[in-house]
Amino acid sequence: YSYDFLVNELCNEVEALDPITYDRIFQEKSIEVVSKLLKIKSSEEEVLQDLYIIILASTMADGKVTMEEYLPSQKLFKSFFGETITFEKINKYLKSMKKETNELKDLADKIVDGYGELDSGLKTDICFICLLICAVDGDISIKERKWLKKLLA
């Protein structure tokens, strides 16, 4: 099987998860990744900053935000933009901030690659969390799949 085929199959499987299974997997994997990151980095603040960038990039990976992505990410958007942002406004911003969104995704990719140099399994786990974030609305778009493949490479 090709790499693209395997990533697409995994995306399809995650899209099909029922909400209870999705939440359980997301919670378990998140705890596991944060624990590993805290063992690698001496500063909890650095870990949180890296995760913030990765989560925000995952949420905005396809250049738009669905309501299912928006609701759990409201606090991140407030931190990023410095104010409370409505669902409509975030999508308007994303359309006008294509360059910044791409820069954020590139930064997230570099952070994930950096962790991958220390522990390839950790990189895979972080990428899986990104996949879960992209799938929160039950659909991983073509743009999100493309970004996930880049992140995994």
State the pTM of this model: 0.87
Q: How far apart are CA 66 and CA 68, in angstroms?
A: 5
pLDDT of residue 80: 66
For the chain, residues with pLDDT lower than 50 are none
Residue 114 confidence (pLDDT): 95
Task: Give tens-digit pLDDT for 39-78.
Answer: 998 788 898 889 989 988 998 888 888 888 888 777 777 7
Residue with tokens 């975030």: 90
CB 38 within 8 A of CB 122: no
pLDDT (0 to 100) of residue 109? 97
Output the pLDDT for position 24: 92
In the prediction, which pLDDT does 15 show? 95
pLDDT at 148: 96
